Structure 1
Amino acid sequence: MTPVSYDIELTGVYKSYPLGKSRIPIFEDLTMTIPDGDFLAIMGPSGSGKSTILNLIGGIDTVDSGHVSIGGTMLDKMSTRALTRWRSEVIGFVFQFYNLMPMLSAAQNVELPLLLTDLSASERRERVHTILDIVGLADRHDHLPSLLSGGQQQRVGIARAIASDPRILLCDEPTGDLDRKSADEILELLQLLNTKLGKTIIMVTHDESSTRVAKRTVILDKGRFVSEEIAQCA
């Protein structure tokens, strides 16, 4: 069987948000392609639409008009129920502030998305152990978030994001709350997930130095891409 390619296509996307009695357009005719296996960094000023792109690709937000297609699946044509199931299988989210459950251990936080799958308890435990090992936290299995550093908490957040083996990781300022050393470690981990495990990664960042691990960097301004840089090693 030929493996499915999860190319991301945004075509003629118009997206606006309400402001009082009027609506403010974010994108008026956005068209872009992100190939399967890409590592794309998106930079730009606040309000340029960076996080909106992540929300549209992740199926959290919907277009006013135009289309979002991933692997041939048209997100704007799916029911809410179908979109929720698709998102749980295809998309992983990494946030700036981790969003860990404070009363749960590292392992229990990672296991959360697996509770929605058909995996048995023993299969879930094995998956969690493997993933924590991948992100370098095998020895922090039972630690609560409060006992972990910021960088370690973000590693747990990444482990949770890849627990269900999604094809696409959407990272919104994943190093924005970290010191330089911890940020570099997280960036190296994301690069590993891209190069070794083949995850497509789309990373919004305000930190230009963070883009060094990406294959491509685009600058977004007022809903339009104004420049693109391709990494020398790509």
Structure 2
Amino acid sequence: MTISNNSTIELRGVSKSYQRGKSKVPIFDELTMTIEDGDFVAIMGPSGSGKSTILNLIGGIDTIDAGAISVGGTVLGNMNESALTRWRSNHVGFVFQFYNLMPMLSAAENVELPLLLTSLSRSERKKRVETILEIVGLTERARHLPSELSGGQQQRVGIARAVAADPQILLCDEPTGDLDRKSANEILELLQLLNTKLNKTIIMVTHDESSTAYAKRTLFLDKGRFIQQEMNQCA
């Protein structure tokens, strides 16, 4: 199963619910949305509105109850688990609020982790890691452990790891939620750079309204539905 160069994301009539005890709790009911290749979308909404669930569904981590999700024409529901895992490792990068770095590995080793699953040689992996660390401004911190880095630097490592395999799509779940304002802005500027210069498609869930200014558009989610959209001046 392959994906085309065009990574337009489409959700069509998507329904999703979770089991809570004996009851089913609906999250989405026939949700439809399109995110074009190269877009940078911020998603805001109250807690429990389904923001993170959208990321998990698009990234193939969670499954839908009904409807269809396609990326570049590839329907995720048509793939078995092993095919979905291969697709995800090649085409999607995840950026989390709390970095999820391996504490015993250096910055460079953390970035290299997803490349160990590829056919790249050791020298090719080394060159790729050096290039990515340069892009995120951490060349001089390559041998430092996470504990020796600031929160903003750790998140830069997390972003570098997310783009190591050169995915087209970055799914960012509250990527600045644990950072001070200065560090947060630096991370947002980096995401904007990846979008504008490398044409990465970025979907960012955030509770911070000021962070949305770095995206091309902002979608507001409430009770499983998009209730508003704003186009941003930075685009």
For normalisation by structure 1, the TM-score amounts to 0.98
Counterpart residue number, 1:185: 186
**1:40 counterpart letter in structure 2:** V
Q: Deviation per CA, 1:151-176, whole angstroms, max 9, x where unpaired? A: 00000000000000000000000000
Counterpart residue number, 1:97: 98
Take 1:183 and 1:6, find their aligned partners in 2: how far apart are those partners? 27
Matched, 1:219 2:220: yes
Take 2:5 and 2:152, find their aligned partners in 1: how far apart are those partners? 33
Counterpart residue number, 1:62: 63
SS in 2 for 1:30: strand
Counterpart residue number, 1:106: 107
Please report how far the alpha carbon of residue 77 of structure 1 lies from its aligned counterpart in structure 2 after TM superposition: 1.0
Please report how far the alpha carbon of residue 232 of structure 1 lies from its aligned counterpart in structure 2 after TM superposition: 2.4
Q: Is the 8 A contact 2:60 2:76 kept in 1?
A: yes
Counterpart residue number, 2:45: 44
**1:131 counterpart letter in structure 2:** I
Please report how far the alpha carbon of residue 74 of structure 1 lies from its aligned counterpart in structure 2 after TM superposition: 0.3
**2:169 counterpart letter in structure 1:** I
Q: Deviation per CA, 1:51-86, whole angstroms, max 9, x where unpaired? A: 000000000000001000000000011100000000
SS in 2 for 1:130: helix
**2:111 counterpart letter in structure 1:** V
Take 1:85 and 1:219, find their aligned partners in 2: how far apart are those partners? 31
Take 1:5 and 1:46, find their aligned partners in 2: how far apart are those partners? 32
Counterpart residue number, 1:154: 155
Moved over 4 A (4+): none
Please report how far the alpha carbon of residue 184 of structure 1 lies from its aligned counterpart in structure 2 after TM superposition: 0.3
Take 2:209 and 2:181, find their aligned partners in 1: how far apart are those partners? 13
Q: Deviation per CA, 1:158-210, whole angstroms, max 9, x where unpaired? A: 00000000000000000000000000000000000000000000000000000
Counterpart residue number, 2:201: 200
Please report how far the alpha carbon of residue 233 of structure 1 lies from its aligned counterpart in structure 2 after TM superposition: 3.8
**2:123 counterpart letter in structure 1:** S
Take 1:100 and 1:231, find their aligned partners in 2: how far apart are those partners? 32
Take 1:166 and 1:232, find their aligned partners in 2: how far apart are those partners? 26
Please report how far the alpha carbon of residue 130 of structure 1 lies from its aligned counterpart in structure 2 after TM superposition: 0.3
Number of aligned residue pairs: 232
Q: Is the 8 A contact 2:214 2:234 kept in 1?
A: no
Counterpart residue number, 2:84: 83
Please report how far the alpha carbon of residue 231 of structure 1 lies from its aligned counterpart in structure 2 after TM superposition: 1.1
SS in 1 for 2:30: strand
**2:41 counterpart letter in structure 1:** L
Counterpart residue number, 1:11: 12
Q: Deviation per CA, 1:79-98, whole angstroms, max 9, x where unpaired? A: 00000000000000000000
Unaligned runs of 5+ in 1: none
Q: Is the 8 A contact 2:136 2:156 kept in 1?
A: yes
Matched, 1:20 2:21: yes
Take 2:166 and 2:59, find their aligned partners in 1: how far apart are those partners? 15
For normalisation by structure 2, the TM-score amounts to 0.98
Take 2:42 and 2:148, find their aligned partners in 1: how far apart are those partners? 31
What's the % identity of the aligned pairs? 76
Take 1:182 and 1:222, find their aligned partners in 2: how far apart are those partners? 31
